[in-house]
Structure 1
Amino acid sequence: MGSLTHLPTLTIRGSLVAFGDVNSDKKADLFVAPTGQEGVGFWLWDETLHSFDSFSLVTAQSTSQSQQSLPQQLLVPWPAANAANAIPADFDRDGILDLLLMATDAQGKLLMEVHWGSNQNSINITSSILPSATTAQPFLVDIDGSLSPALLGYTYADPSNLSVWSFTTNRTVSVSPAPAYFLNQSKSVCSYSSPHSNAFIDLNGDCLADLFLTCFDKSTSRSYFQIWTNSRDNGFALVIEQNFPTAYTGPVTFADMDADGTMDMVFNSCDDLAGKSCHINILYNSQIPLCSTSILKGSSCRPVNDLCSADESFDFRSVYSKIPLQDVLPSAEEKIDLFAMPLRLGDFDKDGFPDILILTHTRYTKLLQSIPCTKFICSNIEFSGNKRFFKTKTVGTETLNALEGEKTGAAFFDLYEDGTLDILVFSKDNAKIEKIDFFRNDFYSDGFFLKSLVLNGVCPGWCDEGEKFPDPKPYGVNFAGATLKYTVIDTNGQKHATQLAQLPQSSYFALNTPYTLAGLGRTNNYIETLSVGTSKQKRDNVATYYGMIPNSQLVIIPYEADADEGPSSWKLEMFINPSKFVPWVFVSILSTIVAFSGVVMFLHYFEM
């Protein structure tokens, strides 16, 4: 029951370029490039008003727009026509969000500059110009395990050799050869495809982010991918080089599609570029399963108390699902534009299994709901392995496509910070004016959720180093590469693990949210075990917590004052999301207390 409710009063004119927590209030804000203006501004979420307030970043020009745009907005200068990407991150590790902007010039050069954040909830006009890159965009990594963001890609001056853009606390940028971070072996790092789907994400199960690279060989027109696992002290080692199973493949995204504690690959494909015979593809990550009890241990299963143990023999060949779109969508909409929008993944019904937003060739946004495989719609190996299929959610989603104009994309987003994924739809009218529309998720769900945010490990207060009494105090910024694994017991008494990845991709307007949000399904228990891994390349990079409360938001601060300290010094903050029934529970308890008090007083009166 329920539906998606359009919220026209929240509509914003412009295109969404990134999510980010600008003012460190643990609420996601929007970076928007307003239509008709050369720049980008941000909108802060106002929890009191349940709406976004527009704020300026830096002085560029003053305009007069409608209330749906950015009134009298002062913007970061950015050529909208050539805009290529925006990456919010804390590049100088001062605990404040910065903004990296990318744009292409007429020569095909990718221009990059970082606008530094300030402690006044704004971003400075002053910026650092980075050495230019090729159009195969550099992406965000923690290349040396220091929790400091870096970029991995090709410089325009040396497009044949992989390079690393490194940032320092004094806001300087340097470029160095990347091979120093890779183990010497017979095969080298491939040449990126352009566009690519590169990611910084844990794929072998040790909660330490690895490198996933999509590659293209011009001499053979071969599309394939490489996985380089993070070997801590020795850099990255190539463990998998594998062809994509289809010739024409769209962007790759990642999620734990079958809730088995591993990250799977999801992408669309077609038999040709015209969009004929299209499919949704899932390459399942095959690893050792979770042990059924804490007593069982060994190489055949992963212990419950050691969720972040690596499986060096993991693979993406054992189980492959290729779901024809014509089995999911109406026949008139069985085509898809491969590169219009990546498959957006999110658990809108909180059952513990990610669902999919797609954009069809007719520019309709469709919500595909994850359902269990049956022997009638899936192969034997998919059915026996408890894999997933999808069906189009039609009832209650009619408003998604009732908007006028051409749909250009969509994304999941927790609008009201209540643990429920809502939907943003992007469109443009005949005058090419872009806008962002919000759809509130009013579908009924009795599932629980877990929302988490892993920060970048800067000092979360007034510390010995740096300014003694900064105002406001530094809090930290989420960073790319964090991994979370947790175990829950469902209503059938079955225990299963799920893996989440924070900001795994950062190129081509990836639109990853600052937080991770996952449904827990129906459960009567606490989250038994939660393991949180960072990209620190040290022996102990994982903190484990027990008895987490469902329907809560967790903030993990991996600050270590001393180099010898480990995860035991990390700080965990828990924010409980109150249920809508709390007032009624309070009234019931109060009424019960009053009733019992009346009985006691009545009996006491007759005993006197």
Structure 2
Amino acid sequence: MEDEPFKSVTLLKNSSSIGIISNVVPADFDGDTQMDFEGDRGNVTKHLASSVKHSVTKPQSSGFVDMDGDLAADISLVTDEGIEQLDNVHGVFHNSHPIFTYPSGMKNGNRGQATYVDVDADSKMDVLMPSCVGDSCDIWVLSKLEWHKLGVSFDSGGGTMWSFVTPEKNPKGMERLPVTLRSGDFDLDGFPDLLAVLQHPNTDGEVFQRAYILLNVGCSGAGCEMFPRTYRVSWTTTLHDHSDRAVLATFFDYQENGILDIMVTTYNSKNGYQTHLMQHTFEQDACFIKVMVASGVCSDNCPAHRKPYGINQPGPAAKFSTLDTNGDAQVGTATQLTQSAYFSLQQPYIVFGLGQTPNFVDKLYIGIPHPNGTDVRTRSWSSVIPNSQLIIIPYPHDEPSSWSNKLFVTPSKLVLLTGAALLGTCGFLAMMVGILHWREKVEDKKEKLQDAHKFHFDAINSKEIEFITQCFDSGVTTYHTVSWRSHMWCATDILNSEFLLRRAWYSLRYP
């Protein structure tokens, strides 16, 4: 049987009366599990009867992401003037917030793509955006309705300053890509890290272009009172051959073990574009939970007695809460596939780092988009095993209590160490029990021997007492007794009960 040829289907049709449709973003906006489109028509973007006040940035980096923490994905629009947020209220998007205008340091700069991530792990989504003025670059974060500059140092030492690769800086022959920060918890400490491509021209005019990891670290010093986290470039981590120029870099769990690996696309004039995989050998014994929310639909009628898996799609939101090793609250939030255009290269799942916290995750919350006029559709699970991968099947969509999850557990070194410690403890206890049992048997044997040689004074008659007294008075120090009543004599040859006889005699003579 020959394979059927691919069919061409028109998904979106334009007419000259409404202008050019651009910046299309696919997502399930109306909660019917079918993919919809958000697009820009001229200078007005319309979706579900909601209008924005400013032109969307081109290339755009708008996101379908839960911004207010209710597990219902909202729309975050990146415009020329700032960020506009359309809240999802009962399935209808309302533009009820004032625009979050760019600060002067961003507005006049060369801005990159927006990245949606919970930077400070407070279970509230933040917006990261890189910005460059000339060769001076910064990273800004929109958190709690305010913009903050993170003060990232791009000095690799010795006064060597690096910067983001803005489109006009890409060498001839390379794609002019917007600056994009791609997030992922590389060290699984609970704070998402970043991957970025940086550039540095040397004195000979040669340009170095490399991919680097930006680790999410605590902020200390001046300016940190406004936002508690910042990023530090890991200059010593080599991700590719430095003779090639990095173009794209992203996180991906290639080994399916919850530990993020790195994929890097490089370019050189001889071989062109090449993609490399850097497997992450993770030495620390940190924990994680990995979540993928499926669509819960079938391509046709669902088979009987079989739940539909579907595929992962944009929009499902997840958050968790638990306690760390110090007993403090640990939380986090993320939205699956917030963006899908202009090389967003996001992971098709959510990975939450837990740090070195082997405790059960107290609560895991999942929410999916919901139709117009309905409440948020959410479900929670308790006591989730750390180092587990969960596939959530939200079926039926309107019955969250019937949703199911498939859980796959990845044992960590800590589990093996715990097992070894348990076996060692059991072995030690067994050895102690054996030693105590042996000592008790020895003591019992001694007591039996002593009982066998004891005098039962109540059974000794006067004749026997007189015999013992005569033996001691005669100066005999050793005695042999075969039977007190039939054979009694004093002897000096063989006896092993001298001490008992002496004790008996003294007890009888000096009562």
Q: Provide the TM-score with structure 1 as the length reference.
A: 0.61
Q: 1:597 to 1:335 in 2, by over 3 A?
A: closer
Question: Which of 193, 216, 219 does residue 355 from structure 1 map onto?
Answer: 193
CA separation in 2, counterparts of 1:342 and 1:160?
24
Aligned CA distance change for structure 1 residues 161 and 241 (closer, same or farther; 3 Å) = closer
Check if 1:545 corresponds to 2:381. Answer: yes
2-structure distance, mates of 1:182, 1:579: 50
Deviation at 1:410, TM superposition (A): 0.5
Change (3 A) 1:469 1:524: closer
Deviation string 1:541-590 (CA, Å, 9 cap, x unpaired) is 111111111111111111117xxx52101112211111246567667767
**Structure with higher helix content:** 2
Where 2:160 maps in the other structure, the secondary structure is helix
Is 2:183 the counterpart of 1:345? Answer: yes
Cα distance in 1 for partners of 2:158, 2:66 equals 36
Deviation at 1:237, TM superposition (A): 3.3
Question: In structure 1, how many angstroms separate the alpha carbons of the residues matched to 2:158 and 2:377?
Answer: 47
Q: Which residue of 2 aligns with 1:408?
A: 247
Structure 1 position 393, deviation (Å):
1.5
Classify 1:371/1:469 alpha carbon distance in 2 versus 1 (closer, same or farther; 3 Å).
same
Question: Which of residues 99, 109, 116 in structure 2 aligns to 1:241?
Answer: 99
Q: Which structure would you say has the larger RCO, counting Cα contacts within 8 Å and 6 or more residues apart?
A: 1
For the residue of structure 1 that corresponds to 2:348, the secondary structure is: coil
Computing the radius of gyration from Cα coordinates, the structure with the larger value is 2
Task: Answer yes or no: is 1:574 the counterpart of 2:402.
Answer: no
Determine whether 1:493 maps to 2:327. Answer: yes
- 1:279 aligns with one of 107, 123, 138: 138
1:497 match: secondary structure: strand
Counterpart position of 1:182: 49
Aligned equivalents of 2:335 and 2:192: distance in 1?
13
| Alpha-carbon contact 1:213-1:227 (below 8 Å) kept | yes
Residue 270 (structure 1) aligned to one of 105, 121, 132: 132
| Aligned: 1:253 with 2:115 | yes
How much is the aligned-residue C-alpha RMSD, in angstroms?
3.3
Shift of 1:338: 3.1
CA distance in 1, matches of 2:230, 2:93: 38
- 1:540 to partner: Cα distance: 4.0
Q: What is the alpha-carbon distance in structure 2 between the residues aligned to residue 372 and residue 432 of structure 1?
A: 41
Distance 2:213 2:114 in 1: 18
Deviations 1:370-394 (A, max 9, x none): 11111x2533333xxxx11222223
1:389 is aligned to 230
1:365 Cα shift? Answer: 1.1
CA–CA separation in structure 2 for the residues paired with 1:329 and 1:124: 57
- Cα offset, 1:453, TM superposition: 0.4
Deviations for 1:430-454, whole angstroms, at most 9, x for unmatched residues? Answer: 1352111111222422321110001
Aligned counterpart, 2:218: 372
Paired residues of 1:451 and 1:516 also in contact (CA < 8 A)? yes
Q: Is the 8 A contact 1:328 1:391 kept in 2?
A: no
Distance in 2 (alpha carbons) for counterparts of 1:324 and 1:135: 37
SS at match of 1:128: coil
Q: 1:335 to 1:590 in 2, by over 3 A?
A: closer
Q: 1:330 to 1:366 in 2, by over 3 A?
A: farther
**Kept in 2: contact 1:278–1:325 (CA 8 A):** no
Distance in 1 of aligned mates of 2:198 and 2:380: 42
Separation of aligned partners in 2, 1:581 and 1:381 = 37
Structure 1 residues 438 and 601: CA distance shift in structure 2, 3 A = same
1:460-489: per-residue Cα shift (whole Å, max 9, x none)?
A: 9xxxx716479x985211110111111121
Separation (CA, whole Å) in 1 of partners of 2:36 and 2:317: 18
Q: Which residues of 2 match residues 313-352 of structure 1 at below 5 A?
A: 316-317=145-146, 320-326=148-154, 331-339=159-167, 340=177, 341-352=179-190
Which ranges of structure 2 fall in alignment gaps of 5 or more residues? 15-19, 168-176, 200-207, 445-511
State the 1:147 CA deviation: 2.3
After TM superposition, the structure 1 = structure 2 runs for residues 283-294 of structure 1, keeping only pairs within 5 Å, are: 283-284=142-143, 286=144
Alignment of 1:200 onto 2:64: yes
* Cα pair 1:533 1:543 within 8 Å, conserved: yes
Aligned counterparts, 1:449-464, within 5 A:
449-458=288-297
* 1:568 counterpart SS class: helix
Quick one: which amino acid aligns to residue 276 of structure 1? D
Alignment correspondent of 2:268? 429
Deviations 1:194-214 (A, max 9, x none): 101111001111110011111
Question: Helix, strand or coil for the counterpart of 1:496?
Answer: strand
Deviations 1:153-172 (A, max 9, x none): 14xxx64664xxxxxxxxxx
Deviations 1:327-360 (A, max 9, x none): 6777433322235440111111111111121111
Please list every run of 5 or more consecutive structure 1 residues that lacks an aligned counterpart in the other structure: 1-57, 60-122, 163-177, 217-222, 287-315
Q: Tell me if structure 2 keeps the 8 A contact 1:267–1:282.
A: yes
CA contact (8 A) 1:540 1:567 kept: no
Instruction: Please report how far the alpha carbon of residue 255 of structure 1 lies from its aligned counterpart in structure 2 after TM superposition.
Output: 0.5
Tell me how far apart the structure 1 counterparts of residues 100 and 414 of structure 2 sit (CA, whole Å).
51
Residue 74 of structure 2 corresponds to which residue in structure 1? 210
Cα distance in 2, alignment partners of residues 476 and 599 from structure 1: 57
More deviation, 337-346/514-523 = 337-346
Count of residue pairs brought into register by the alignment: 411
Contact 2:296 2:308 in 1 (8 A): no
1:136 corresponds to which residue?
Answer: 22
User: Is the contact made by 2:361 and 2:384 (CA closer than 8 Å) also made in structure 1?
Assistant: yes
**Aligned equivalent of 2:85:** 227
Q: Which amino acid aligns with 1:338?
A: T
The secondary structure found in structure 1 opposite 2:78 is strand
Instruction: Tell me, yes or no, if the aligned pair for 1:135 and 1:194 is still in contact at 8 Å.
Output: no
Give the AA of the match of 1:365.
Answer: A
